[in-house]
Amino acid sequence: MGGYADRSDGVQNVLDPLEVHVVTFADDGHRFALVVADLICVNVDVVDRIRTAMRGIGVQSCWVAATHTHASPEAGCSPGGEATPRHVADRLEAASLAAARSAMASEHAARLSSARTMVPKLAGHRNIADPRPLDIPVDTIVVTAGTEVVGLVVVSPVHPTILPADNNHVSADLNGGIRRALSAPDRWVVVATGAAGNISTRHTRQGRGLDEADRLGAWLADRVEPVSPRVGRGSPTPLRPPVSRTVTLAPKQPAELDVAVRQTPQPKVGNERSHWVMQQGRRIAEEQAARQRTEPYVIDVEAVDLDGVTVVAVPGELFLELGETIRSAAPDQVGDIVVLGYANGYLGYLPTRDTQPCYETYASPVTSGSGEIVVEAAVEAAVEAARDRKHFRRINA
């Protein structure tokens, strides 16, 4: 199983089935699909494979995002991404195509809007000893047919890690709990993960089982709802292919690796797990130092305009503060921005220039300040994606 560095067992059973969801967005000129899979990560190789297969069924552009559940099969989730195991890639492609065909068969006229809810006591900074819970910004893309809400794409910037490292049962974890809490007979629900790199329920959860995932899912759902559709917002905008910005990031520098390898985090009373996680990060830094990588990492940051909602996709673990910076740095004419993480590849953590030493900085493959570089590219892509908003499109899932 993937996700936890100290995990040794394979999959033994199923708590709740892993799911693959596809939402299609189409007008007369273009069709875009968003695939969201209950996996620890998606690598570039499987993203390219799914995009090629999607073109064969009439989907011109496609994003593939992982929820980052740590209760899924290992998918080659290492900095920069490895080759996806064949059995995982085969099943992900088949499920993505099946879901896309179903979505395309039921496309109908709809409109989009977005809503933001600040959810208190949901999560906090995961590697700070005894932090106060944060008000977590949860974004919802609301799909409306007439005056009825027919679908929700909920983006939670929280690590979906209720289940512990010794769990060996597959599960969608927290995102599954949110889906169940928001489900209704007359609408579909997709739950993706946003800028969750440094946010988890480590200091807010009251248990480590599926019942706790359902409790926190209900806690979020009770605050996200009711979602009121916005109607009469003018003509829908044309659907254009996503805008992409290629970003080159330097690998972690020798001095940074040296600090990470030499520094031994001291245990804190009542915070043994956090200390253990820091030690894991230190071991990862030691492995990186041994490899002595000098060539840069190259990723694509993408943005797409969906009926006035600008969605940004980052192939890594973006810190919550960086996701908020993308929203605040974009000009007003861009409108609402929703940030997806773990999408279209997997690089790992993206530290800022002032990130204090922690598991994320130790485990990150890239140098300090990479987060700001990605933010700049994301804002540029969002501005270009939002330039043209005029025509009608069909949306469904």
Residue 143 neighbours by CB under 8 Å, 6+ apart = 110, 111, 112, 149, 150, 151, 152, 153, 395, 396, 397
Asked if residue 311 lies in contact with residue 195, where contact means CB atoms within 8 angstroms, the answer is: no
Q: What's the predicted TM-score (pTM) here?
A: 0.93
Q: How far is CA 259 from CA 51, 123, 252, 356, in A?
A: 40, 29, 11, 12
By the 10 Å C-beta count (0-12 exposed, 13-18 middle, 19+ buried), 391 is classed as middle
The partner residues of 396 in beta bridges, in order of sequence, read 24
Please tell me whether residue 297 adopts helix, strand or coil conformation.
strand
Alpha carbon distance 133, 111 (integer Å): 35
> Cα angle vertex 340, ends 373, 364, to 5°?
50
Give the per-residue pLDDT at 110: 93
Single-letter amino acid, residue 95: A
Residue 113 neighbours by CB under 8 Å, 6+ apart = 141, 142, 144, 229, 230, 233, 307, 308, 309, 336
Asked if residue 299 lies in contact with residue 249, where contact means CB atoms within 8 angstroms, the answer is: yes
Give the per-residue pLDDT at 393: 41
Residue 33 neighbours by CB under 8 Å, 6+ apart = 22, 23, 24, 25, 54, 59, 61, 62, 63, 100, 103
Alpha carbon distance 378, 383 (integer Å): 9
Rg (CA), the chain: 20
Give the per-residue pLDDT at 3: 85
The partner residues of 61 in beta bridges, in order of sequence, read 32
To which H or E segment does residue 222 belong? helix 210-224
Alpha carbon distance 367, 257 (integer Å): 9
Alpha carbon distance 34, 22 (integer Å): 6
pLDDT in tens, the chain (397 residues): 888 877 777 888 999 999 999 999 999 889 999 999 999 999 999 999 999 999 999 999 999 999 999 999 999 988 777 899 999 999 999 999 999 999 999 999 999 999 999 999 999 998 776 678 999 999 999 999 988 999 999 999 999 999 998 999 999 999 999 999 999 999 999 999 999 999 999 889 999 999 999 999 999 999 987 666 655 567 777 899 999 999 999 998 877 777 666 665 554 544 566 677 777 888 888 888 788 888 999 999 999 999 999 999 999 999 999 999 999 998 887 888 999 999 999 999 999 998 888 888 888 999 999 999 999 999 999 999 998 653 334 555 5
Length of the chain: 397
Q: How far is CA 129 from CA 72, 124, 173, 274, in A?
A: 28, 11, 24, 8
Alpha carbon distance 296, 173 (integer Å): 34
